[in-house]
Amino acid sequence: MLNRKVKFVVALVVCLSLVFVLLQSFSFRPNGEPSGLSRNGSWPTSRELSRKLWELRKVLVVYATGNSKAAGEYEKIASRLAEKTRWFRFMVAADTSVSEDELKSLPLILVGTPASNSVLHRIQRSFPFHFSEEGFSAPDLFTANKRDVVVVPMFPNPLQRSLPLAVITGKDDEAILAFWRDSERFYPGRAEFRVMRDGQRVVHGFFLADGKGSWKIDLDRSRNYTKLTKTPLETEHYRFIYHGATPDRAQLEAFARQQERRISDVLALLDPDGQVHLPKIAYHLYESAEDKGLITGNTDLSHVDPKRWAVHTIFAPELRGTDFFADAKLVIGKLLGQTASLLLQDGLAMHFSEGWGKYGYRYWAKRFDETDNVNPLAEMLDNEIYRKESYLFMRPLAGTLVDFLIARDGWSRFVSLYQHWPQQRNGLNLAELEKEWRSYLHRLKVDPRPAKTRVARVSGFQKGFCYAHEGYGIYNGYLSRQSQASLKKLRDLGTEWISLTPFGYLRDRHQPGYLRYSFGAGAENDESLICAVLAARKLGMHVMLKPHILLSGPHWGWPGDIEMKSEEAWQAFFKRYQSWIRHYALLAEMYDVDIFCVGVELLHATRGHDQAWRQIIRNVRKLYHGPLVYAANWWQEFDHISFWDELDYIGLNCYYPLSSKEHATPEDLRRGAQEVAEKVERVARRAGKPVLLTEIGFTSTERPWLTPHERRRGSPVDLQDQALCYEAVFEAFWQK
Mean pLDDT across the chain: 90
- Strands 58-63 and 89-94, by their bridges, are parallel
Q: Is the pLDDT of residue 366 over 60?
A: yes
pLDDT at 33: 33
Mean pLDDT of 555-560: 82
What is the rounded CA–CA span in Å between residue 252 and residue 256? Answer: 6
Element (H, E) at 710: none
pLDDT at 10: 44
Q: Is the pLDDT of residue 136 over 90?
A: no
**Tens-digit pLDDT profile for residues 316-356:** 988 999 999 999 999 999 999 999 999 999 999 999 999 99
**Tens-digit pLDDT profile for residues 281-294:** 999 999 999 999 99
pLDDT at 155: 95
- What's the distance, Cα to Cα, between the start and end of the chain in Å? 8
Of the candidates 296, 280, 386, 276, the residue with the CA atom closest to the CA atom of residue 337: 276
Q: Is the pLDDT of residue 27 over 60?
A: no
Mean pLDDT of 416-423: 94
pLDDT at 289: 96
* pLDDT interval class at 599 (50, 70, 90): very high
Residue 126 CA: distances (Å) to CA of 66, 120, 130, 700: 21, 10, 10, 37
pLDDT at 3: 41
The single-letter DSSP state of residue 456 is: P
Mean pLDDT of 18-32: 30
Q: Is the pLDDT of residue 29 over 80?
A: no
Phi, psi of 72 (to 5 degrees): -65, -40
Mean pLDDT of 74-102: 89
pLDDT at 715: 84
Mean pLDDT of 106-125: 95
Residue 129 CA: distances (Å) to CA of 101, 112, 142: 26, 15, 10
Q: Helices (DSSP H) in 544-702: which residue ranges?
A: 567-590, 603-606, 610-623, 666-687
Which residues face 651 on adjacent strands? Answer: 631, 692
* pLDDT interval class at 18 (50, 70, 90): very low
**Tens-digit pLDDT profile for residues 693-731:** 999 999 999 999 999 998 887 788 999 999 999 999 999
Q: Is the pLDDT of residue 391 over 60?
A: yes
pLDDT at 186: 61
**Tens-digit pLDDT profile for residues 207-228:** 999 888 999 999 999 999 999 9
Residue 159, CB half-sphere, CA atoms under 13 Å: how many? 18
* pLDDT interval class at 32 (50, 70, 90): very low
**Tens-digit pLDDT profile for residues 245-261:** 989 999 999 999 999 99
- Do the beta carbons of residue 649 and residue 627 sit within 8 Å? yes
Mean pLDDT of 375-388: 97
* pLDDT interval class at 734 (50, 70, 90): confident
Q: Is the pLDDT of residue 185 over 80?
A: no
What is the rounded CA–CA span in Å between residue 667 and residue 645? Answer: 36
Q: Is the pLDDT of residue 7 over 60?
A: no
What is the rounded CA–CA span in Å between residue 494 and residue 373? Answer: 40
pLDDT at 673: 97
Of the candidates 644, 709, 647, 648, the residue with the CA atom closest to the CA atom of residue 682: 644
- Strands 130-131 and 142-143, by their bridges, are unpaired
* pLDDT interval class at 238 (50, 70, 90): very high
Q: Is the pLDDT of residue 37 over 80?
A: no
**Tens-digit pLDDT profile for residues 637-673:** 999 999 999 999 999 999 999 999 999 999 999 999 9
Q: Is the pLDDT of residue 4 over 50?
A: no
Class of domain 464-653: alpha beta
CA angle 456, 460, 463 (to 5 degrees): 90
Q: Is the pLDDT of residue 615 over 50?
A: yes
* pLDDT interval class at 462 (50, 70, 90): confident
* Bigger pLDDT: 16 vs 668: 668
- Across 183-192, 443-452, 534-543, the highest mean pLDDT is recorded for 534-543
Q: Helices (DSSP H) in 304-450: which residue ranges?
A: 325-336, 342-351, 361-370, 377-380, 383-388, 391-409, 411-419, 430-443
- Do the beta carbons of residue 193 and residue 138 sit within 8 Å? no
* Bigger pLDDT: 13 vs 495: 495
The whole model's pTM is what?
A: 0.90
* pLDDT interval class at 448 (50, 70, 90): confident
Q: Where are the domains of the chain?
A: 2-28+42-224, 229-443, 464-653
What is the rounded CA–CA span in Å between residue 649 and residue 365? Answer: 30
What is the rounded CA–CA span in Å between residue 439 and residue 481? Answer: 47
* pLDDT interval class at 22 (50, 70, 90): very low
Q: With the CA atoms of 539, 543, 547 and 550 taken in that order, what torsion angle do they form, in degrees rounded to the nearest 10?
A: -50
Q: Is the pLDDT of residue 184 over 80?
A: no
pLDDT at 550: 94
The single-letter DSSP state of residue 700 is: S
pLDDT at 677: 96
Of the candidates 32, 14, 77, 17, the residue with the CA atom closest to the CA atom of residue 486: 17
Residue 120 CA: distances (Å) to CA of 94, 343, 356, 463, 602: 12, 49, 50, 52, 50
